[in-house]
């Protein structure tokens, strides 16, 4: 077995027949990879670091968006140096939003794994939230709250729809989060929000285009806010998302920024690439074209 290509596989996925079949298919095609299964989340950084020390040139994250985030943070660290290895994606999550946003054929796992093993890496930006790296989307407000509180068995039963169904039900009675956006060189923007997304990529919540103008390599993060002081009109919100940067929008505010901070007087629920956190101050920045990803 070669150490050049390493698949870091989520423990709960390791014994799934469809996962084993995809790995066997790739091996039969003559591609050589080593499969490693961390015992828990805390072990992933060690496995990634040891794989790189043994000469790995490509690390494949096998799991959902949370697994990808863990591998990305193990690779990028404090961001002082660009990782020399290429990241591959083997999408095994409930929503697989990052993989879908990259255009990967998520319904064909063997093909995704083949792409992860063979395709040249493209340089993408890496977002940073309070020192933690992310590559997809940070969602804030009621959507993130629902993602954090939806039972895992319901997520599995409904798939990506769990985020949407639960989120919309909660939205009808949601309490806006008061706060402000601080942008260097500008006056603070005061107001309240029902939901916000900070997108390095486009999709979140099970395939929803929450940051439709986002690009992985433009050196910017896309901030989209559903205002909490304008009421809830889902039809109008959806229509404004089709033209999010229209200055006449009432419900949607959309900015593309390299650095900003979101502050609130209460802890904001935030879902960062599938991982829930709660903070009052959320400081966002971007590492331009910092990581090579095969997609």
Using DSSP bridges, classify how beta strands 58-63 and 86-91 pair: parallel, antiparallel or unpaired: parallel
The pLDDT value recorded for residue 244 is 86
Whether residue 80 lies in the annotated active site: no
How many other C-beta atoms can be found within 10 angstroms of the C-beta atom of residue 41?
A: 13
Do 5-126 and 137-288 agree at the fold level? no
Q: What is the DSSP letter of 38?
A: -
Q: How far is CA 125 from the centre of its chain?
A: 12
Identify the pLDDT of residue 199: 96
All structural domains of the chain with their residue ranges: 5-126, 137-288
CA-CA distance, 50 to 47, in Å (whole number)? 5
Give the β-pairing of 177-182 and 137-141: unpaired
pLDDT in tens, the chain (295 residues): 458 999 999 999 999 999 999 999 999 999 989 999 999 888 999 999 999 999 999 999 999 999 999 999 999 999 999 999 999 999 999 889 999 999 999 999 999 999 999 999 999 999 999 999 999 999 887 555 545 444 445 444 444 444 454 454 455 456 788 899 999 999 999 988 888 899 999 998 778 888 989 999 999 999 998 887 777 676 787 788 788 889 899 988 999 999 999 999 888 888 888 778 889 999 999 999 999 999 9
At 252 the pLDDT is 87
d(C-alpha 141, C-alpha 146), whole Å: 9
Does 5-126 carry CATH code 3.40.50.10330? yes
CB-CB contact of 6 with 33 (8 Å):
yes
CA proximity to 203, closest of 152, 153, 163, 174: 163
CATH of region 137-288: 2.60.200.40
Candidates 43, 186, 263, 275; catalytic one = 275
DSSP letters spanning 271-286: EETTEEEEEEEEEEEE
pLDDT in tens, 27-46: 999 998 999 999 988 899 99
Give the model's pLDDT for residue 173.
Answer: 59
């Amino acid at each position: 077995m070669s150490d050049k290509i390493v698949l870091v596989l989520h423990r709960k996925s390791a014994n799934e027949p469809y996962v084993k079949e995809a790995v066997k298919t790739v091996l039969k095609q003559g591609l050589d990879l080593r499969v490693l299964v961390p015992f828990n989340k805390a072990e992933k950084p060690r496995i990634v670091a040891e794989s790189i020390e043994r000469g790995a040139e490509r690390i494949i994250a096998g799991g959902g968006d949370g697994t990808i985030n863990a591998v990305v943070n193990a690779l990028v660290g404090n961001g002082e140096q660009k990782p020399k290895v290429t990241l591959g994606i083997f999408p095994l999550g409930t929503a697989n939003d990052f993989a879908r946003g990259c255009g990967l054929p998520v319904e064909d796992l063997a093909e995704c794994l083949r792409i992860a093993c063979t395709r040249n890496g493209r340089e993408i930006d890496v977002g940073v939230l309070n020192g933690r790296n992310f590559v997809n989307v940070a969602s804030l407000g009621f959507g993130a709250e629902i993602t954090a509180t939806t039972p895992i068995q319901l997520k599995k039963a409904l798939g990506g729809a769990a985020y949407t169904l639960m989120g919309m039900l909660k939205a009808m009675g949601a309490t806006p989060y008061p706060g402000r956006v601080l942008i260097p060189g500008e006056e603070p923007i005061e107001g309240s929000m029902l939901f916000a997304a900070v997108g390095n990529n486009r999709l979140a919540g099970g395939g929803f285009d929450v940051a439709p103008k986002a690009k992985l390599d433009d050196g910017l993060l896309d901030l989209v806010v559903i205002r909490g002081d304008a009421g809830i009109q889902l039809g109008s919100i959806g229509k404004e998302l089709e033209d999010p940067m229209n200055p006449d929008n009432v419900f949607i505010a959309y900015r593309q920024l390299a650095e900003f901070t979101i502050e609130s007087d209460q802890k904001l629920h935030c879902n960062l690439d599938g991982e829930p956190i709660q903070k009052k101050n959320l400081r966002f920045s971007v590492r331009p074209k910092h990581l090579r990803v095969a997609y």
